[in-house]
Each structure stands twice: as structure tokens, then as C-alpha cells.
Structure 1
Amino acid sequence: MSFSIVLLFYFIVKIVIVLIRHFFPKKKSFPISDKTNYPLFSEKNVAQRALTNEEMDILIRRIKQVIKWTEKLAADFDYNTNDYRKVFRQTNPKVNGLPAFDLNFEYPSWNIDDRDADSYRTLFKQAIAERDEADTIDLSAIDNLGRILTFQIGCTTCDGAPVAESKNYVDIADVPPIDTWICLRSWYYHGHEHCDEVLFCWVPKAFEPVMQGAIDVEILDSYRWLDENDTALYNAIKQG
């Protein structure tokens, strides 16, 4: 059997698995997490609610931190010649002795399960620990700095279109890079339905075109801009 046939069969199986998980999600219950370490707001099996004051404070803090952090990482980035796969994957925690992300091949990929929310929880603590406080960031001017993206984790065909169009900014599983992650929310209304797990990410202004390229070719509608999808939350953030 030729390699191309094997590869085609692999992608067909992946698509079938994604569709099964998308239309027949497992019903699991996630408790409220320790938000001291990383912001995870779980509200499974209840109607979506507004964040508490404490959660909102944490979210705003994380957004300010990620803005400052990504500015630092991209300070010397050449947008024409540099490698988009690595600029915001400089944090690469080891899990079971292996880096979480494999950056040595044509497309960035995962060495752990990219569809499991627990994988993100494992990575969040170390990712956020790298970041400094950023109290001077003015979120009322956030529109000039970039945009907040939400991504439904596990909702991907792994067809390679988003990673190619984004110049490797997203990975083969369509996930934005770890150094842009803000928080993970459970049972969040994401466009047209409540989704099990949604990842909030920061997209700096200069990186919006490559991210939009991924959005334009992604066929399962797994990406949303927060300012379009949840204007109430976005406006509250701008007042933070």
C-alpha cells in the first residue's frame, strides 16, 4: 500500500472521529478549578452565566500578561522570513519526558492528546508561570493591540489547510500557539452551540492576517473572534 493511500486513510479516520465527537460529545462533569494557578472557569451542565468578579479579575490579569508576553517574544520577529511555528511556542513543557509540541517537522504538532482538555490543563500552569505582571496595559485600547480568539478544542479535521494558510501559526490540530493562551472555559456558547471546552487566545495585531487565513479555510467553524461572538464579555474586558 502506497504512503499516499495510508495518509488518505489516516485523514478519513481522523475526520470520522472528529465528527463523532462533535455530534455525540461525552457528558462529563468538571469541578471549579484552582484559579490561583491558571484560569479555568468550569460551568458544566448549567446555563452560561456571567463571570464572577473574581473570575473577571483573573481573566483581565491573564489578558494583560499575555499581551506583554507576546510583545516580548515577537520583539525581533521578521514577519517575512522568520518561522511562525516557533515565535509563540517558545514555552514547550515536557510531559512524560517529551516536549508537548513537536516543532521539528513540516507542521507543528502535539506529542500528547490535543483533543483532551486535561492536556491543556497540564500545560496551562507552566505556560502562565513564565509570564510577568502587566498592570500598565490599557485594555480600553485593546482594539489597537490585537484580538481575542476562541477555539473549540478537538474540533478539527487535521486536513492541514489552517496550518498551511497561517504559515504554521496554528498547528496541525488547528490549535493556536501556547504562548498566546489565556484561559479554558467549559460549556461556553461558541457561535451556535454550547461547547464542551473552548480555549481563549490572544492574537497580536501583526499576526491577525495569518490567523484570519486559518479561519477562512477551517471548515468546522471552530474559531470565533470574541468581539463578534461575545460582545458583552468583550466590552467588560475593555473596561478592565
Structure 2
Amino acid sequence: MRGRPPRSLPPREGERLQGGRLLVYFPDDNTCDGGAELATRGYFDVDNVPPWDTWVGMFREDPESDTQSADYLIAWVPPVFLDAVAQGIRVNPEVCIQWLEDSTTMMAKRLKDLTSP
């Protein structure tokens, strides 16, 4: 066994995303009101941008509705910040930040398809 890398096991249900959640941010819909920054005590900045070191990727798609922008950022929210981020989402009037699973993005639909039994 010496010299062999440890065998990785598939994640258990509770270990997906290490207890965190995915967030989607639509930069083109941002009005920079600072509400989410205040509500989260700085987790989001004044432009409602999540911390750069939580970013998963930037995506572009043709929106299915006129209310969704084509460009969006997906970020991972660590478990310790879930309550604060939920409060930031609640006070965000332009809805430029939301939980990924609550969005109408193709990425949300694809992830739902992958995780559905």
C-alpha cells in the first residue's frame, strides 16, 4: 500500500458542497444599493458581489425570460455564512443575488437533473 494515493470515496449526501450552497449573481441587474452589504455585515460588497474567493465561474446563456440577464456568476457560500447570505438575498430589491436552485438559469436546471433520482 506504500506509495499509493488514498482512494477517494464519493461524497455522502450531507457532504455535498461541504454543507454550503450555491449562489447566483447577475451583475447586469445590480443597482448598487448597498442593502445586501449592510444586511450581511460585509459578506457582499456595495455592488452585491460575493467574495471573489468563493467564485465558481462566470457563465453566459440566452435568458429564457426578459427578467433574467445573460451573464451570471456562480459562487459557493460556506455554511457559516448561510444565514447572513439569506438575509442579504431577502433585502436585495433588484433580485440580482439568489440561491442557484431558485433561479431560472440553465445551470440550475442541469444541476437539478443531475441530482434528481
TM range, smaller chain: 0.7 to 0.9
Provide closer, same or farther for how the CA distance between residues 196 and 168 of structure 1 changes in structure 2, counting only shifts above 3 A: same
Of structures 1 and 2, the one scoring higher in RCO (CA 8 A, sep 6+) is 2
Answer 1 or 2: which has greater helix percent: 1
Q: CA contact under 8 A between 1:190 and 1:224: conserved in structure 2?
A: no
- What TM-score does the superposition give when structure 1 sets the normalisation length? 0.38
Largest Rg, 1 or 2: 1
Q: What does residue 138 of structure 1 align with?
A: 11
Q: What does residue 56 of structure 2 align with?
A: 182
Q: Distance in 1 between matches of 2:83 and 2:92?
A: 14
Unaligned runs of 5+ in 1: 1-134
> 1:119-140 CA deviation, whole Å, 9 max, x = no partner?
xxxxxxxxxxxxxxxx767274
Q: CA contact under 8 A between 1:180 and 1:203: conserved in structure 2?
A: yes
Q: What does residue 208 of structure 1 align with?
A: 82
SS in structure 2 opposite 1:167? coil
Q: CA contact under 8 A between 2:28 and 2:69: conserved in structure 1?
A: no
Q: CA deviation at 1:168?
A: 0.1
Amino acid at match of 2:11: D
Q: CA deviation at 1:155?
A: 2.3
Q: Distance in 2 between matches of 1:215 and 1:207?
A: 12
Q: What does residue 233 of structure 1 align with?
A: 110
Q: Distance in 2 between matches of 1:214 and 1:174?
A: 9
Provide closer, same or farther for how the CA distance between residues 137 and 156 of structure 1 changes in structure 2, counting only shifts above 3 A: farther
Equivalent residue in structure 1 for 2:69, among 154, 177, 195: 195
SS in structure 1 opposite 2:69? strand
How many residue pairs were aligned? 105
CA RMSD of aligned residues (A): 2.8
- What TM-score does the superposition give when structure 2 sets the normalisation length? 0.72
> 1:16-60 CA deviation, whole Å, 9 max, x = no partner?
xxxxxxxxxxxxxxxxxxxxxxxxxxxxxxxxxxxxxxxxxxxxx
Q: CA deviation at 1:159?
A: 2.0
Equivalent residue in structure 1 for 2:24, among 150, 154, 158: 150
Q: CA contact under 8 A between 2:23 and 2:97: conserved in structure 1?
A: yes
Alignment of 1:164-175 (within 5 A): 164-175=38-49
Q: Distance in 1 between matches of 2:26 and 2:12?
A: 24
Unaligned runs of 5+ in 2: 1-7
Q: What does residue 94 of structure 2 align with?
A: 220
Q: Distance in 1 between matches of 2:33 and 2:97?
A: 15
